[in-house]
Structure 1
Amino acid sequence: MNLTTPALLFPAISLLLVAFTNRFLVTAQLIRQLHAKYETGAKDVVIRQISNLRTRIMLIRRMQALGVSAFILCALSMFLIFIDVQVVAQVVFGLSIFLLVMALLFSLYEISISTKAIEIEMEDMEHALGLHREP
């Protein structure tokens, strides 16, 4: 393993961190919109979304923490290669990859939960329009 091996992960981890931050911003915007709905009297939809949003925020926080940890370990492995501590550098790099995979798994789960939030919104619109959803 040479210095360029962990360096290859830097752009991927950076892009993932941007994507995770974007998911957080979208979720925060949704919470603000739901708060406005709550104030105008649409309490049923808001109540159904609260648990979903809490779970999503927790998952996004974990995704970001795992992504940042992976980035730090990747940088540390580069430093260990630079000072010629190969075995430790390989272990640290392996941990970095593991944390990155964990962040991606949390992301996958968060995406599946976010689709449930969209379904709740669609059900609310269908109910308001008098449409009946097929099971």
Structure 2
Amino acid sequence: MPQFQRPSPEDVAMQKLLTAVTELSKEVKDLREEFRQYVHSCKCGQTDSVGLASLEPLELPLQTMEALDRAEETLQNGPNRQKMTARPAIIGGTTLEVRVRRMMANLLTNELASGLNWAGKKQGKEQAKQKRPFKDLAHIYVW
């Protein structure tokens, strides 16, 4: 008759860890599904199928300096600013840097962003290379 061998403490710890990871994975999957249902029920972030695009005062991402100027003008209206504040607020990310990058990508195209910098300093001696100062925008960075 073979003797029963007790598992080592390392084996017991590993089994507990695997059990915990399995349970956490299931919880994450359940939470993702709950979130999907929530987003679907409130239509958060869905602009085409539910007509939210018509409710939003701006078409994002902004693509040109002219669109940026129009956005500045549109966001002077308090209710418009409040509507537009909700959009970047639902964008997530694992770190602050990731969240900011995702928000900026949803607000501005790369082409438009390349024409801006914080202070509007020249990149060279040519006036043509002057970038528009992001800090002077009255309402865009309030998002």
TM-score calculated relative to the size of structure 1: 0.28
Q: RCO higher in 1 or 2 (8 Å CA, sep ≥ 6)? A: 1
TM-score calculated relative to the size of structure 2: 0.27
* Higher helix proportion: 1
